[in-house]
Amino acid sequence: MKREPLFIDGKLNAGKCNDCGVVRFPRRDYCNYCQSTNISEYLLGPQGKLETFTISYMKPMIGRMKPPYPYGVAIFLTDDGQKIHVIGLIDSQEPFEDVKIDKGLILIEDKLLIKFKMEAD
């Protein structure tokens, strides 16, 4: 299986099953719902919403973020209303007052990491 890029034109590179319509990120060669291999490119974002987050005090496995940093689950909506959950780092400075549940966020394109920036109030 070849590795797909995380981003295309600032949006997440997801896949949509042409048989059952399920969208999945990260994109795979098969549908984990119906096992079809008939998958098309489907781009998510760049705008989403923060569902929940935590503050990590661990050094990340990859990247150069210095702890502590917020780490969250974002929701990206598809055209047909599917909610796709995506985990990523949140670009914010202590005390992280801009990071709020249900607040809008925007993807930050990167080669290795999924990062978000919170929308301004």
Nearest approach, Cβ of residue 28 and Zn ion (Å) = 11
The residue among 19 and 97 lying less far from Zn ion, judged by its C-beta, is: 19
SS (H, E, C) the chain: CCCCCCEECCEEEEEEECCCCCEECCCCCCCCCCCCCCEEEEEECCEEEEEEEEEECCCCCCCCCCCCEEEEEEEEECCCCCEEEEEEEECCCCCCCCCCCCCEEEEECCCCCCEEEECCC
Q: How far is CA 84 from the centre of its chain?
A: 8
The residue among 28 and 49 lying less far from Zn ion, judged by its C-beta, is: 28
Give the interface with Zn ion as residue ranges (CB under 5 A).
17, 19-20, 22, 31, 33-34, 36
Nearest approach, Cβ of residue 45 and Zn ion (Å) = 22
The residue among 24 and 105 lying less far from Zn ion, judged by its C-beta, is: 24
Nearest approach, Cβ of residue 79 and Zn ion (Å) = 16
Nearest approach, Cβ of residue 48 and Zn ion (Å) = 23
The residue among 34 and 101 lying less far from Zn ion, judged by its C-beta, is: 34
